[in-house]
């Protein structure tokens, strides 16, 4: 249900080939919405890859750092190959290539010491925070992203997600009730 893997793979491949960060983010967002219903490992990995690649194409230092050795050209070729394998029903092969591309992206940014946390890990944290901010529970966000609740809370606490909703019960009312409980 939702966007088929091969369709998403094609969009990610085309987006990367055009260096279109917005298109890659759109794939990421759509896949996250699908995953909110039921976890799908290949879709989740593809979502993380799409997010990471959107960062790659939008950061000139990444793009230029590897342009010389045709690093990204090879990545583009692998994406196209992954799409083709998926369209021809060879999902096992498509997934194998997907894992290789993810590893490749992680290896690429290891060479830039300014990026302390991996691009793919950042994508996972971002996706978890997005799930939580959208209205899914913390536990559900952790379940979908495979991350620890602490990691998600730590990131979410730095955002303004809690400013967007109005309080349901006043602090004073909660405090009165709590005090009454604690005095028992």
Partner 1 sequence: MASSIPALICDASALISITDSCFIHVLYMLKRGFSGAYVMPPCVYEECVVQPRRIMADARYALRVERAVSDEVLDVVPLADPGDAAQILQWANSIFTLEGRPLPILQRGEAECLALALETGVRDLLMDERTTRLLLEDPAQLTAHLQAEYGERLRVRQQPLDELMARCKTLRFYRSSEMLLLAYQMGFFDDYWNMKEEALEAALYRLKYSGCALSEDEIEQSMKLALRGKNAE
Q: Which residues bind partner 1 (CB under 8 A)?
A: 1, 33, 36-38, 132, 134-140, 142-143, 148-150, 152-154, 156-158, 162-172, 174-175, 177-179, 181-184
Q: Which residues contact 11 (CB under 8 A, 6 or more apart)?
A: 23, 26, 27
Structure tokens given for 175: 């405090």
Q: Give whichever of 111 and 159 is closer to partner 1, judged by the CB atom.
A: 159
> How many CA within 13 A on the CB side of residue 42?
19
> Are 58 and 64 a contacting pair, CB within 8 Å?
no
Minimum CB–partner distance for residue 24 and partner 1 (Å): 21
Q: Give whichever of 38 and 111 is closer to partner 1, judged by the CB atom.
A: 38
Please report the sign of the dihedral spanned by the C-alpha atoms of residue 76, residue 11, residue 81, residue 108. positive
Minimum CB–partner distance for residue 130 and partner 1 (Å): 9
Q: Give whichever of 68 and 183 is closer to partner 1, judged by the CB atom.
A: 183
Minimum CB–partner distance for residue 141 and partner 1 (Å): 8
Structure tokens given for 26: 């759109």
């Amino acid at each position: 249900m939702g966007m088929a893997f091969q369709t998403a793979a094609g969009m990610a491949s085309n987006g990367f080939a055009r260096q279109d960060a917005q298109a890659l983010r759109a794939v990421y967002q759509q896949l996250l919405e699908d995953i909110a219903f039921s976890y799908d490992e290949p879709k989740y990995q593809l979502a993380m890859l799409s997010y990471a690649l959107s960062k790659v194409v939008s950061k000139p230092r990444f793009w230029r750092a590897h342009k010389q050795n045709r690093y990204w050209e090879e990545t583009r070729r692998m994406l196209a190959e992954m799409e083709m394998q998926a369209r021809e029903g060879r999902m096992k092969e498509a997934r194998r290539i997907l894992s290789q591309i993810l590893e490749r992206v992680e290896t690429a940014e290891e060479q830039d010491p300014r990026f302390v946390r991996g691009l793919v890990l950042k994508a996972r944290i971002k996706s978890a925070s997005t799930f939580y901010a959208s209205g899914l529970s913390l536990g559900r966000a952790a379940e979908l992203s495979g991350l620890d609740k602490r990691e998600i809370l730590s990131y979410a606490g730095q955002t303004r997600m809690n400013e967007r909703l109005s309080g349901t019960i006043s602090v004073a009312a909660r405090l009165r009730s709590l005090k009454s409980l604690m005095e028992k």
